[in-house]
Copies of this chain bind each other. A is one copy, B any other.
Amino acid sequence: MDKHPFWSALASAAVPYIPGEQPRDRVFIKLNTNENPYGPSPRISADLLAKEPFQLYPEPTCYHLRKVIAEGYGLTEDEVFAGNGSDEVLGFAFGAFGDENHPFAFPDITYSFYPVWTDFWRTIPVQIVPLREDLSIDLKSFPDCDGVSVIANPNAPTGIALSAQVLKDYLAEHPNRLLIVDEAYVDFGAESMVPYIHEFPNLLVVQTFSKSRALAGLRLGFAMGQKELIDALIRIKDSFNSYTVSRLTQVCGALSFEDSAYFNETVSRIMHTREQAKADLRSLGFQVTDSKANFLWVLHPSVSGSDLYTALREEGILVRHFSAPALTDYLRITVGTDEEMEALKKALIKILEKTS
């Protein structure tokens, strides 16, 4: 028992999320944390950063950034909330919409931070919903009662997406149930629910600048929904930390969001590389889901996930392996550059030859 006299019950009971490895010296080909290999919009310049008055607090509501996002997506500023990464935004959302009377439901295989947040808030009953045999999310198995359904779309780590039509039908059939759609990976080929925010008061969409916009290092995520939902997030945030998003992050976020040409070009490139990698991995005998994300979820019938992980690490390639029983056979491989995926392919050929 690790309990210490000064520790709260929460600190004692915590079962933290474990993020992917961040090697301190980048000697690895890093395909383990779904980062974007191309870097952010070149509109972000040193000169622009230097102009910011570092000594002044940031605008606490991220007003300009929210305005840029709202304009880009056909929303109003008060339908957008920005936070310190989509993890913080989701963490706040779990606290804003979950309690004894607002139970949560999410899939058994999904972003592994969801159960950590329901534990963090302590009072949220949770129902875990199994995926279908084909690893897709089965909305029909979610509970019908009042409460909150949370899905990642595309789902992580499977990469499989539901269509907007399926989600619209679900929202229409469950007007008293809130649906939180975590669209961290949506820009890589799935359908966003943002166009339906005005239609559904029970829809909250969360996105991030860490993946398609290549700003993982700067920590920026945002939620979109009708004003009543955004107001609840603001209340939680302002009860915890007034200034969650750094000045530099706000500036870089707005510049990046406005540069749709660069965004489209790099996202297309990643999607193209992904489809090539799918074909290559299948040709090596891997089972590969039809991922619409910037990662692949793969399983080899003859080598275990953990053996492959270790062997790839020895070859200088980091991928993500999860030890949970349902996930342990698989690997999650981030889509890097064409060159990185070529190196991965070569390493896998070498490893598979050794083991056969």
Contact = CB atoms under 8 A, between A and B. Distances in A.
Interface of A: 4-11, 14-20, 22, 24, 26, 30, 33, 35-40, 44-47, 49-50, 52-60, 63, 84-85, 87-88, 91, 95-102, 116-117, 119-121, 146, 148, 176, 178, 202, 210, 214-219, 228-229, 231-232, 234-236, 238-249, 252
A196 to B, nearest CB: 17
B57 A216 contact: yes
Contacts of A39: 53-55
B232 A218 contact: no
A46 B44 contact: no
Nearest to A48: B46
Closest A-B pairs by Cβ, 3 of them: A16-B238, A46-B50, A217-B247
Contact of A87 (B38, B97, B102, B241): B241
A241 B54 CA distance: 24
Nearest to A47: B46
A177 to B, nearest CB: 9
B33 A57 contact: yes
Given A55-B217, A243-B219, A19 B91 contact: no
Given A8-B232, A39-B54, A60-B22, A120 B239 contact: yes
B215 A57 contact: no
Contacts of A252: 54
Contact of A236 (B11, B60, B84, B229): B11
A51 to B, nearest CB: 8
Nearest to A87: B241
B24 A59 contact: yes
A26 B100 CA distance: 45
> How many copies of this protein are present in the complex?
2
A135 to B, nearest CB: 25
Nearest to A178: B6
A232 B4 contact: yes
Task: Say whether chain A's binding surface is mostly helix, strand, loop, or mixed.
Answer: loop
Contacts of A88: 240-241, 244
Contacts of A26: 53, 56
Contact of A97 (B7, B47, B217, B247): B7
Contact of A35 (B47, B50, B55, B245): B55
Given A5-B176, A11-B235, 5 more contacts: A8-B95, A14-B235, A26-B56, A85-B241, A248-B249
Contacts of A95: 8, 10-11
A215 B243 CA distance: 12
Contacts of A236: 10-11, 14
Contact of A218 (B54, B91, B241): B54
A11 B81 CA distance: 15
A14 B216 contact: no
A309 to B, nearest CB: 19
Nearest to A211: B55
21 contacts: A4-B232, A9-B99, A10-B239, A11-B236, A14-B235, A16-B234, A19-B243, A22-B56, A26-B53, A39-B53, A39-B54, A40-B55, A46-B49, A49-B248, A56-B216, A57-B217, A58-B216, A85-B244, A88-B241, A88-B244, A219-B244
A247 B49 CA distance: 13
Nearest to A49: B46
